[in-house]
Structure 1
Amino acid sequence: MTKINLFVFAAHHLSGNIAAQRFKGLLKYLDPAKYRIFVFAREPAAGAPAAAVPPAADVTILPLPGHCVGSESSAASSLLTLAAAFVRPLPFLLAGGGGRARPWLVQALAEADRLCAGRLAAGERCVAIGTYSPIDALIAAASLASRHGIGCLQDFRDGFVFEPLGKPGWLRTRMRKLIEARVVAGAGLVTSVSPPLVADFQRRYPHKAAATLPNGYDPADFAAPGGEAGDDTRVAAILARHVPPGTLLVGHFGRIGASDGSASKSLDFLVDALNASPETAANKHVMFVGELTDAERATLERARFSVSVHGPVERTLALRLMQRCDRLLLLTGSRASCATGKLFEYLAAGADIVCISGVRNAATAILAETGAGHSLLTGESASAGDALRIALSPPAATAQRDISPYSKLAQAGMLDRWISEMVQP
């Protein structure tokens, strides 16, 4: 039986961004006897270390130069990439010149076109997968699928037009809707991270198949709780420096408002609630590991409880620190679709999760479904203080906890079924 070739456009694949974990951990669990995988990524910036990628059989990663649509890209380069959403042959026409100065989209499609043509000539089946963000990856997948008449799966990690992502303005909003419609048009399946996002795609594109492919955790990352000896030493040093002995450790990892401005209000709520209840705050220490905004640091300066701030650390060290926490803190805002990647690493780390949110969203639904923690809403001030006290107290009984649907191993099975259906004659 010939293999199925997957051409995965994941520009962020070699970055340390939490978004990179979405497919980085997923692809290695696909059957190497069935799949041959090519991942088209951006090469790391000069001087920046490449993030570790799990080894996997028959997975080829191609780091390619070039800018993607965004603040770093010139207006001409961005316009060319966006134009390619409407004029599918355009990037292939530009593949012959420009060298490393060509946009990432052109570089990726030049390589993918050559590889795909060769595999099709050998009588093998091929599927293109685009994973947002950036938008360049979705445009690349649509372009390759259109050129060769192959199946296409478009994966939206974020909503693109579902929520106010990117710069505001009616023209940008209109362009996002048009570009999204173009990349969805050629897809056999659209996937996204949470039911609210999938429901939105189903409403706006009723003739397109859409399914939830949630973020998840890689069980291999948590298979050896001891981790690297060096990480253990650094974990011990951080805890000794920041955390008073005998306290219940509440850990928050990653960004808050830098990813979702509305989530900073949940931090305000936490500080106000603990300041107002010395009993709840007693013998607790809240540790923030990651990037905070200036306003968030100012909020923490108001804290009258034990708190510390540690800058960003590499992912392996962050995972070890998570496993040493008694509670894990999740702060979300007003986005109904929010199911941030850190939630799934929290699930696998094992401690109960305390989610403070502006609304009931995908994250609070996952906590209720898995039995992995408590959620409280900032708008319910009268009862939220009591809910926080309960969430930070020792559990009265062992809750039924089932996080298995969010394992990359289980999700690889879902992806395998979808792709298999896509290539059926």
Structure 2
Amino acid sequence: MKKMIPLLLLLVVLTAGCDLTGLTVTTTSESPVISSFGADPPAIAAGESSTLSWNVLGATKVSIDQGIGNVALNGSRAVMPSETAVYTLTATNASGMSATATAQVIITGAPTPPPPPPPAPTPSGLPVVNYFVANPPIVSAGSSTILSWDVANATSVAIDFGVGSVASVGTTLVSPATSTNYTLTATNALGWYSLTITVLVVGAPAVGEPDLVIQDISRSGDKISYKIKNQGDATAGPSTSTLLIDTVVVANDSVGSLAPGESKTETFTGYDYACTLLSDTVVVEADTGDAVAESSEANNSYTKSWPCITTGLIYTLKLPDLVIQDIWLVHEITGDKIYYRIKNEGTATSLESVSALYVYPCKLPCLPVATDTVDPLAAGESRQEKFAAYNYTGTHMGAMVKADSNGALLESDEGNNSYSEPESEF
């Protein structure tokens, strides 16, 4: 009230001799009202996320601590604290009066252990990506997934699509609008190593538009091939794919029209590939020049890192490379069985290996529901396999099969062992 006295005296002086009938001076002494502020769920396991939600009335500024900052009067925000945290919301009005409320997110249990065991170290002293996974790898439109990674022997680690530079070991929450290929790149003084994983978004892409994605890159001798798919629900017209080796454009390939859901394998026929020192980062980009109007222009690129094994000045690639090409469901008398096709895309025979089946969603640590022993595969050989001891219930969003799940084989590419399918495409 003391602050109002000078102001009222000034009004008296300025209005002396004037008729003040009808003049009203209004002030407010009410604080903002925080209708609600809470966390759902209030208790989570390490590595999971909770959502903060709030509703505020009568404020000109609302902020939340713990690094969130200024927010709207009403809203929500996903958080993933590494330990139990208390979040404080502060609401302030034009008079400088404020109100606060708190919400606690409790972390239960021990931190999530890394998936065992790590794959064999990358040759030639390059960075080693022990694992880079998404859990779950299949999400519905508008939902989130958690990227987790563990990298050794690297001076810097980065993930594309806005994640940016990260620590060598960590997790982050992402919410892709459409199916997206996330690439982790680890670098040291000798070079870099990249690994790409795919997060499938069920319900995307938008109705009535095509969506071109690169699903895999492979090589046979000196020729590089790739698998391109139109995962939209409209026909994609002719387009051009581009091949880059260590960020340099080396070849282009013309792709004909693709119907909704159609995929095909293409080859850069005019280019002869030769692996260079230490490793090559190989990138294939679909729809170069944006000739096709797509529901998502952010998922056209796919990256692989191919290490070169050196012997003196002779470069050899005599290693197996196991990939999963497809997953499907067969209704048998004993139950619904998941079948898959596995191929050795390398240049050497693979020894006996173990494939693992995962169903989603699943809680961290995400463990396989079944395994299958695979006999040796000659270079270029493919085979149909099934998880005979497991009956699929049909109550999941999708499944993933991982070749060489225990990392027993030394392969030319350790980053292409997994393949995911949403249940709707079984």
TM-score grouping bracket, smaller chain normalisation: under 0.3
Give the TM-score taking structure 2 as reference length.
0.24
Task: Return the structure number with greater helix share.
Answer: 1
Give the TM-score taking structure 1 as reference length.
0.24
Q: Which has the higher contact order (CA 8 A, sep 6+)?
A: 1
**Radius of gyration: which is bigger?**
2
Task: Return the structure number with greater strand share.
Answer: 2
